[in-house]
Structure 1
């Protein structure tokens, strides 16, 4: 009788752990689409009220970041022992991954549906593949990856087709900003992977969220924004959004730290699936239109093809 050999790999490098943790992260991020739009409605934030959207986002990420920093201190992590170089890296990461990305994301989400936004935001995977081609020598754009990117962008085209006339329904401040947010996130994630190699993932995530949140708050208040009536329901929703950000970003950073980018990126196809399903459930948006179903299928197929390990 053979004795099983214990798995000596770190927890976040074990296949079953990767599957469970990555799926949980995608579920949390997918739930943010209906949650954010519900928050707009509860706080009475109008579609054109960009400053108030920035404040709403700023409080979310500042709370999430500070919670992680406090937790890191309680766990004896070096949350305050940061060098000048690390502070500069965290500032750049926070302003890009949390600040700039969510400026585009929150504004874009106000001008499109949660279903469409969740599908369009999945283009992060394809941007990551294209950027990796120019950054990493061992991650070039192969014919298989190129075909996957084409499928993914075909999904973007499909979800933006209009009604029976098949017009192209695309606006810069709606669908366009969601795609720009995906591009910013893919670039920032590659940079974040490099930063995490020399820093604790929880500490890195906490500070970058807090710095990005402060930047969003400053921009929102400086341009006349307000969060309106922060009663129990929107406060509870804000708390949930903060917790999901803290948990998902930390877990995803740990996965990226212990695994190749391509291995983890393959799970990103679950985000538009969860996002579209939850938006349809809680916002009563239509998901059973042919263009939504076609776009989901194309995006998921493209991501799977891009991130599939070569035989």
Structure 2
């Protein structure tokens, strides 16, 4: 049991479940705060939480000093650029279409990994499994609300979200390939704290300063979002750094995020109820994960015979 709780599969599912809970918290937070400023405060607090959990200041700052260039680059790309693209695109595109584009992120990450790692190429089985997952996301998204384009600016929004997906792939590759010698906790803490601080500064000339007052539910949402970001990013960076873990295959688990998000909305939001398109989409995503798992096991069985 203990080995299962430490397994890559369990940790990947746990991280994706945590990310799936963000929808309700973000919806509450953005009711009272502006997007970039709220995200900056959330990530800065997340970085502090990981720092407190790490509990070894001397080791923490030694690793920060030794890897400051990489940490600053990751902070810029992963937090500042990625989330600026995310929120900017989200403001220009209908929510249903944005959800579908963001849900296709594993495909873009797999493409980035294909051109970066010699042992993480796109095979026919992997490509098919990922495309099945993307189809499942599309069924859930279109089934829950119609996708309607209303203006030329929405094409810019689509472009921003597509670039966001490519940036997500780049950050995953950066962590997997170039973060040797850095603790996943230190890497997550520093990148979130620095990135959150920069986002907060950028938000001031764009969005102004918003100091409240905020109701209790805003603070509850901020507290949960800060915790889940701290936990999910640390878990994800930990498994990305594990030997033998392939970036493309790991990110396929992110297809679970909209599935879990929909299930949570049915449980927590009064007006949300299960619908046929969502259930069909979930079944398609399950098929995607099962086919990919089958392909992985088959490859592992065949590997010794090729020696």
TM-score band by shorter chain is 0.7 to 0.9
In structure 2, relative to structure 1, the CA distance for the partners of 1:75 and 1:141 (3 Å cut) is same
Q: Which runs of 5+ in 2 are unaligned?
A: 299-307
1:21 corresponds to: 11
2:109 corresponds to: 128
Matched, 1:235 2:219: yes
In structure 2, relative to structure 1, the CA distance for the partners of 1:83 and 1:36 (3 Å cut) is closer
Q: Which has the higher helix share?
A: 2
Q: Which runs of 4+ in 1 moved over 6 A?
A: 173-176
Q: Distance in 2 between matches of 1:183 and 1:300?
A: 24
In structure 2, relative to structure 1, the CA distance for the partners of 1:268 and 1:167 (3 Å cut) is closer
Taking structure 1 as the reference length, what is the TM-score of the superposition? 0.78
Q: Distance in 2 between matches of 1:97 and 1:247?
A: 16
Q: How does 1:141-156 map to 2 (within 5 A)?
A: 141-156=122-137
2:240 corresponds to which of 256, 262, 268: 256
In structure 2, relative to structure 1, the CA distance for the partners of 1:205 and 1:256 (3 Å cut) is same
Would you say how many aligned residue pairs link Structure 1 and Structure 2?
A: 288
2:204 corresponds to: 221
Q: Distance in 1 between matches of 2:63 and 2:261?
A: 36
In structure 2, relative to structure 1, the CA distance for the partners of 1:126 and 1:310 (3 Å cut) is farther
1:182 corresponds to: 165
In structure 2, relative to structure 1, the CA distance for the partners of 1:289 and 1:225 (3 Å cut) is farther
1:3 corresponds to: none
In structure 2, relative to structure 1, the CA distance for the partners of 1:216 and 1:76 (3 Å cut) is closer
Shift of 1:77: 6.3
Report if the CA contact (8 A) 2:47-2:188 is conserved: yes
Q: Distance in 2 between matches of 1:77 and 1:124?
A: 37
Q: Distance in 1 between matches of 2:10 and 2:281?
A: 25
2:38 corresponds to: 56
Deviation per residue, 1:141-162 (Å, 9 max, x gap): 1111121233233345445548
Q: Distance in 2 between matches of 1:274 and 1:175?
A: 24
Matched, 1:79 2:60: yes
Q: Distance in 1 between matches of 2:262 and 2:143?
A: 18
Report if the CA contact (8 A) 1:60-1:238 is conserved: yes
1:271 corresponds to: 257
In structure 2, relative to structure 1, the CA distance for the partners of 1:152 and 1:263 (3 Å cut) is closer
Q: How does 1:205-216 map to 2 (within 5 A)?
A: 205-216=188-199
Q: Distance in 2 between matches of 1:269 and 1:33?
A: 15
1:246 corresponds to which of 216, 220, 230: 230
1:48 corresponds to: none
CA RMSD of aligned residues (A): 3.2
Shift of 1:90: 0.9
2:148 corresponds to: 169
1:81 partner SS: helix
1:203 corresponds to which of 186, 197, 200: 186
1:89 corresponds to: 70
Matched, 1:37 2:24: no
Q: How does 1:101-120 map to 2 (within 5 A)?
A: 101-108=82-89, 112-113=94-95, 120=101
Report if the CA contact (8 A) 2:13-2:253 is conserved: yes
1:258 partner SS: coil
Q: Distance in 1 between matches of 2:30 and 2:257?
A: 21
